[in-house]
Amino acid sequence: MPRSVEPLDVGVQIPYHFRCPISLELMCDPVTVSTGQTYDRASIESWVATGNTTCPVTRTTLTDFTLIPNHTLRRLIQEWCVANRSFGVERIPTPKQPADPVTVRTLLNQASSESTHVNSRVSALRRLRGLARDSDKNRSVIASNNAREVLLSIAFSNTDSDSSELNHETLAILSMFPLSESECAFVASDSERVRYLVSLLFHSSLDVRVNSAAVIEIIVAGTRSPELRSQICNANGIYTGIVEIFHCPLAYPRALKIGIKALFALCLVKQHRHKAVAAGAVEAIIDRLADFEKCDVERALATVELLCRIPPGCSAFAHHALTVPLLVKIILKVSDRATEYAAGALLSLCSSSERCQMEAVTAGVLTQLLLLVQSDCTERAKRKAQMLLKLLRNSWPEDSVGNSDDYACIDVLPF
């Protein structure tokens, strides 16, 4: 972006009147306040959000917090960006205008009106979905108009085939918002509503399946009652539906992200983890582990460690040829959290299987663990590594370490 370009590096100076008076960076979305001063939208919104009620330049009180887009200045900035493209300056995009509260209320009323034709209701929901997808600011405006309560009532008011498109659009919007505890309980406490969400996990549309999984994850994560959480996890077919999402093509990365979030949330309920194993979660996670983004790798490894704490899960992971080599390879490669979860999973596997011990040694776990205990990783990760070293002390090849006393003498630089 233009704001990341340093004038001294590219040999071009940003005109003073193109800079935001707050951030002193090139404005991407210039807006004018009631005093006539122009600022970048993000900067002035942040200024007001922290409790300031004055104009940063004139120091006079803002009588109106309406932000008026300065289209003329924005076009001038865009022309300047194009003229200086040879210096590495990129043209700022034309910003989308934030959602108008009046428009949001109108769309919500139209979508919730049962007297309105279903096509018009679907159209209103699609416009709301587009606004919600555009920015956090829009989602905040939509949420402030009691949207979640309205959307929940639409999503579960009628689940017959005639209103299916209406329900699907509603769930797509709900998947973008966190739900309060009472809103989660509204769904979790009704077995029919839970059953309906689970049925959508087997829908022919991938979008519908993923949105349903996203809503399920939000509800499970937002439900504090152990009984209600267990009731959701006990729904017939829920694990199978979630695991099936892992088989979506790489061209749809959101499916993998939502799938592991939902599976992790379900696996936090210990008494039903065996159902995840029976549904094929072990194979699904290991086979797709290399495809996850960093934060999702952490969540996937946390799920692996949870499933390794039950005998069926530990046995299933032990019998997968790639489990141990992948876990060893991940140590100190992704993040401290990922390292901790990988070490914990290896500890469970090696405690239950001598074959896993030998696989870990062959994969080079000795070097990884010695580096780990001398690194800046979490104390929990180091404790797990030390326990694993102690467990494997009799499994090291004789030509690599003569005895356990040599551990303290090995010169390993901190990671």
Same domain, 41 and 78: yes
Do the domain assignments include residue 63?
yes
Is the domain of 82 the same as that of 105? no
Q: What is the pLDDT of residues 202-241, one digit of tens each?
A: 999 999 999 999 999 999 999 999 999 999 999 999 999 9
pLDDT at 279: 95
Considering the domain architecture, whether residues 166 and 102 belong to the same structural domain is answered as yes
Last residue of a domain, one of 129, 147, 177: 177
CATH code assigned at 24: 3.30.40.10
Tens of pLDDT along 348-406?
Answer: 999 988 889 899 898 888 888 888 888 888 888 899 989 988 888 876 655 544 444 44
- Residues 20 and 45 both lie in one domain: yes
Q: Are residues 65 and 113 in the same domain?
A: no
Final residue before a domain boundary, out of 131, 153, 177 = 177
Find the range with the poorest average confidence among 197-206, 231-240, 243-252: 243-252
pLDDT tens digit sequence for 92-115: 988 887 888 899 999 999 999 989
Could you write out the three-class secondary structure of the chain? CHHHCCHHHHCCCCCHHHECCCCCCECCCEEECCCCCEEEHHHHHHHHHCCCCECCCCCCECCCCCCEECHHHHHHHHHHHHHCHHHCCCCCCCCCCCCCHHHHHHHHHHHHCCCCCHHHHHHHHHHHHHHHHHCHHHHHHHHCCCHHHHHHHHHHHCCCHHHHHHHHHHHHHHCCCCCCHHHHHHHHCCHHHHHHHHHHCCCCCHHHHHHHHHHHHHHHHHCCCHHHHHHHHCCCCHHHHHHHHCCCCCCCHHHHHHHHHHHHHHHCCHHHHHHHHHCCHHHHHHHHHHHCCHHHHHHHHHHHHHHCCCHHHHHHHHCCCCHHHHHHHHCCCCCHHHHHHHHHHHHHHHHHCHHHHHHHHHCCHHHHHHHHHCCCCCHHHHHHHHHHHHHCCCCCCCCCCCCHHHHHHCCCCCC
Domain that holds residue 129: 96-177
- Number of domains present in the structure of the chain: 2
- pTM, entire model: 0.78
pLDDT for res 398: 57
